[in-house]
Homo-oligomer: A and B are copies of this chain.
């Protein structure tokens, strides 16, 4: 615990601190054991490992005195459920992590064997140590230390540990719908995110949603000879390009009428906070790398990265795509289009606006249809929400610095499910670093963050005990 220089830390309960010090090796070993289980949700050959990992989690929950512990079957991988409800009248916190991990390919880029994790020079290295097994172990470890000195959390905890986060979370939504009562809570804490660049403690307050659609443009039943028909019929690929080009203006603004209507404005304070973050455009650009950073006029890169909605073509295809030349007018052309949404844009409404606009700008001579593929709600928890502030105080106490408030450009599906389906405020409190190779070879987690994160969690249950109940 040495990489943060500020001395402004506040110790946790000395008995729990002593218990954590005593269990240092055992806790590290627990993560190494857990990360050694190759629970790759995407690969059918790991189905047995998925069950093994789920059982490992359930055993640990039982070990900290959780009740109603169950490895709940779904149509794919089980969800581990459990609860510690020992604080009558106190708020209930829904705690989420996931026990599945990303596939490991390309294997040749790993410096070691992905499922033979190790701790060396202050870092855990191995698939899943950061995303998300390390964070799950922090939650369990905090409870083990508390239990070892006879303490119970000051809030009621309900645990949901998922096994399909890296594979689309398909089973989760129906399971949440079917288990609303068992999931009743006052706030959700999701530990599947991380800190800001440079290991600056942070809380993720915003995630973008998504609206994903397809545009299909059809000219004719078959490809036409471009010499015989060229000049007399529309070209579906040209038509699709026209439609796509009409979606955004030269200023990078999305031209779909009404698209920005529901966007919650960034406050001056939000913008000032983002501007204060140590973010260097040039380093970001060079790290991708791209020629230049490009986006909506009037907003900084960091704002565009997560706090502004986007529109991107994800794929596009038409006609002849081989080597050389084929002289056809393609019969049809297609594009996958997605918009990243920010609060309070609703995917279904955005799709309706999008479809209407596409129909409006479609050129004559072709048949243009749009199809909704999937949607996900954006989420935004106010910085001044009591739960966010409880998490901020917990981080401040352990790290000695004020945490920053971040928005992430992507989506964590469970967040939207907790937010929109269960109606819970969501605190995204995670302890990894942006460069942790979460979905890449040589995934790592700083031991210091593992240790401090466990203490942040210990403190968080106390801080949340005072949360006004909804």
Contacts and interface: CB of A to CB of B under 8 A. Distances in A.
Interface of A: 208, 210, 212, 219-221, 224-235, 237-238, 240-248, 284, 288-296, 301, 304-306, 308-322, 324-330, 333-336, 338, 340, 363-367, 373-374, 408-411
A218 B162 CA distance: 38
Given A226-B312, A316-B317, A317-B316, A240 B241 contact: yes
Closest A-B pairs by Cβ, 7 of them? A227-B410, A245-B245, A237-B313, A241-B244, A294-B365, A315-B320, A231-B304
A233 B320 contact: no
B234 A244 contact: no
Given A227-B410, A366-B291, A325 B312 contact: no
B409 A230 contact: yes
Contacts of A336: 319-321, 325-326
Given A227-B410, A317-B317, 10 more contacts: A231-B295, A231-B304, A232-B305, A241-B241, A244-B245, A314-B327, A317-B318, A320-B336, A326-B336, A327-B338
A234 B293 CA distance: 7
Interface of A, secondary structure class, is mixed
A330 B317 contact: no
A245 B312 CA distance: 17
B411 A232 contact: no
Nearest to A328: B314
Nearest to A212: B325
How many copies of this chain sit in the oligomeric assembly?
A: 2
Contacts of A294: 232-234, 363-365
User: Among the interface residues A224, A225, A237, A314, which one has the most CB atoms of the partner chain B within 10 A?
Assistant: A314
Contacts of A208: 227, 230
Given A241-B241, A317-B317, A232 B340 contact: no
A227 B311 CA distance: 10
Contacts of A363: 294
Given A238-B313, A244-B238, A326-B314, A225 B291 contact: no
Contacts of A325: 212, 314, 336, 338, 373-374
Contact of A293 (B226, B228, B233, B367): B233
Contact of A314 (B210, B305, B313, B319): B319
Contacts of A322: 315
